[in-house]
Amino acid sequence: MREEEVLRLEEALLKRMEERLTPLMEQAARDAARAAMQRLRLNMMAHISRHEETIQRLAKAALAENHVPR
């Protein structure tokens, strides 16, 4: 084979590989982003939950304080 023909075949092979890999890479990126967002969502929910408990305690303390005669 001549060098030009080898280069043409290599180019065609690389193009086919890229066409096959691009959708796989895009799907992998979407899956990774989805997993990261799920972890973030769970972390935020846990964080909010801790603050809700604090808010409820403070609200109860405020109610109790309002019932103490002065």
Residue reference for tokens 């180019």: 11
pLDDT at residue 53, as a whole number: 86
What are 60's two structure tokens?
Answer: 């109860």
Identify the three-state secondary structure at position 28. helix
pLDDT digits (tens, 9 = 90+) for 1-13: 799 999 999 999 9
Considering only CA atoms, which of 31, 53, 54 is closest in space to residue 39?
Answer: 31
**Residue 69 pLDDT greater than 80, yes or no:** no
pLDDT digits (tens, 9 = 90+) for 11-65: 999 999 999 999 999 999 999 999 999 999 999 999 988 899 898 999 999 888 8
> 1: Cβ–Cβ under 8 A, 6 or more apart, which residues?
9
Give pLDDT, residue 22: 96
* Residues of the domain holding 44: 1-70
DSSP-assigned letter for residue 1: -
pTM over 0.75: no
Domain count, the chain: 1
